Amino acid sequence: MPPIELAQDRTTTNTVPVPMSYTHKTNPAEVLLVSWCRTGDDTFTVTARWPREHAFYLARHGRFDPLFMTETVRQTLPMLSHAAYDVPFGHQLLWKDFGWDIAPDELWADGEDAYVELHISCSDVKYRKGRATALTLSVEATRAGRRLARARTRFTIQDRAVYERLRGPYADIASANARAVPLPPPSPTNETGRTRFQDVVLSCTDVPGRWQLRTDTSHPVLFDHPVDHAPGMLLLEAARQAAQAATHPRQTLVAGMSCDFTRYAELDAPCWIITRTLPDDPAGRPHVLVTAEQNDEEIFTAVVALYEVPAAL
């Protein structure tokens, strides 16, 4: 972990390594961020490495998994909170919204690791007692000097005492996991775009366009460490798989999402993933509206943009 003086330095442009603890991951193999530096009061450059082989984010059709981008951005949220905005460990980061789009042709996989540079600008920063309580991040990502992706996300930060007061009994991680609903059977892998049943996060129902979320708290990537609710990355993966299933048998990959997180996805009640196919955009790209509902309330929505994979791939 870098010294406290570095975390508080508002002027340094020295590039420094990203400690694993700053990404909130416990498995070193899941850490994508390599280094970072401050380029202005609220601007930063972060370098990430996407491994050529990964246990969950698998290359398909000669391209890296687009959701590498979402996990890369997610890791920057705690990293910058701790390193640049003096947020103590133990505070809770709460996703509000997340939008991103990616250039499919820049996802090419050639058997080597991919290095991605993120140019990040933070805005609408809210403070309380000298620490940040809310941030908006705007990201421009490049690969080999070419534009790879854009992203924008807003999140808030709560200290543990406030979080426990708001969450009540749900803040107890052990109790929340003990109450988790039984894991339903997975949907077919060919519909959801996965190769292994253990990575499928949807379970079929008897209603077309409706699935039950498979919240496998033992999954080594989606649940890198115990938490008291379904993590945001699980909902993004569910949106991806549901959109691909909704457009099956068209062979598609995700090109972007526009997401809103409105409530926690709890572990003790079924969560339903519902899709509605939207008109293709002028370029012919499919769009799907994905909604997550739990206890008769909408908790998450995403408009997922897809692109059809060329037949040669």
Written as one letter, the residue type at 83 is A
Q: How many domains does the chain have?
A: 2
Domain limit, last residue, from 113, 130, 163: 163
pTM comes to 0.93
Q: Are residues 108 and 191 in the same domain?
A: no
Q: Are residues 125 and 215 in the same domain?
A: no
CATH number of the domain to which 93 belongs: 3.10.129.10
Cα 93 to Cα 11, 231, 289, distances in angstroms? 25, 11, 26
Is residue 217 within 8 Å of residue 228, measured between CB atoms? Answer: no
Domain assignment present for 293: yes
Domain extent, residue 79, equals 4-163
pLDDT in tens, 115-129: 999 999 999 999 988
Q: Are residues 13 and 150 in the same domain?
A: yes
Distance of alpha carbon 48 from alpha carbon 57, whole angstroms: 15
Residue 40 has pLDDT above 60, yes or no: yes
Domain limit, last residue, from 102, 132, 163: 163
Q: Are residues 22 and 140 in the same domain?
A: yes
Written as one letter, the residue type at 180 is A
CA angle 30, 31, 32 (to 5 degrees): 110
Domain assignment present for 313: no
Residue 8 has pLDDT above 50, yes or no: no
Q: Are residues 127 and 15 in the same domain?
A: yes
Q: Are residues 157 and 180 in the same domain?
A: no
Domain assignment present for 246: yes
pLDDT in tens, 69-102: 999 999 999 999 999 999 999 999 999 999 999 9
Domain limit, last residue, from 110, 137, 163: 163
> pLDDT value at position 284?
84
Q: Are residues 25 and 154 in the same domain?
A: yes
Q: Are residues 152 and 37 in the same domain?
A: yes
Q: Are residues 92 and 191 in the same domain?
A: no
| 217/313: higher pLDDT | 217
